[in-house]
Structure 1
Amino acid sequence: MSRRFTPKVVTANRLREGDVVYLTANDLWSLHHHEAELIEDEAHAQLRLLFAASQKNLVVGAYLADAKAGPNGPEPVHFREGFRTRGPSNYNHGKQADLAHV
């Protein structure tokens, strides 16, 4: 019996700055997890990962991360991915600084 496919998003790190980014449905890279394309088909997920891997001049380390549908777009399922959405943890800058004003 085969396992049911868990929805995914494609994530990577931006080559120049190192920021965590997510592949959107219109082939752009977003800093925001909720803007990622939620992929619910395994074959489509593999195609999207291949596309991401071809973006060597923009991103590095692309992989599929488990996600779930949320009210504002995809949400991370695992702690690691939730942690990655908040940015570096060593000092307050980037995404963390932006969240301080919310």
Structure 2
Amino acid sequence: MPKPFTPKVITANALLEGDVIYQTATGWTRSLAEAEVLTDEADADLRMIDALTQHELVVGVYLADVAPEAGGPKPTHFREEFRAKGPSNYAHGKQETL
């Protein structure tokens, strides 16, 4: 029996900078809070096809599980929580504001 579809966001890395980015309804953002939450599997499949064609902007595109919340989606897996915080080698970028 297939697993039920859970809410997801499309995530990748920016091709030139390497930053973690998330797909919105109109493009890409570096903020998980601004990411578009996908709740329909067919819609998620179509959005993935579109994201995978954007070779000039992104690499490593995939769907990540999230929990929709009032302040924006929250990661449900440690890996995504870690990626959302930015590089781990020292406090810079997103980590400066945490």
The TM-score range, normalised by the shorter chain, is over 0.9
Partner of 2:39: 40
Runs of 4+ in 1 over 3 A off after TM superposition: none
Q: Which residue identity is paired with 2:54? A: Q
Q: TM-score, normalised by structure 1?
A: 0.91
Separation in 1 of the partners of 2:39 and 2:73?
11
Which residue pairs with 2:60 in the alignment?
A: 61
CA distance in 1, matches of 2:40, 2:48: 12
Letter in 1 for 2:64: A
1:2 Cα deviation after fit: 3.8
Q: What is the CA–CA distance in structure 2 between the aligned matches of 1:43 and 1:4, rounded to whole Å?
A: 13
Task: Give, as a single letter, the amino acid of the residue that structure 1 aligns with 2:17.
Answer: E
* Identity within the alignment, %: 57
* Structure 1 unaligned residues grouped into runs of 5+: none
Q: Which amino acid aligns with 1:39?
A: L
> Which amino acid in 2 is paired with 1:19?
D
**Partner of 2:91: helix, strand, or coil?**
coil
Q: Mapping of 1:6-17 within 5 angstroms?
A: 6-17=6-17
1:4 maps to which residue? 4
Q: Residue by residue, what CA displacement relative to the aligned partner does 1:57-100 show, whole Å, maximum 9, x if unpaired?
A: 0110000000111111211110100110000101111111232x
CA RMSD of aligned residues (A): 1.0
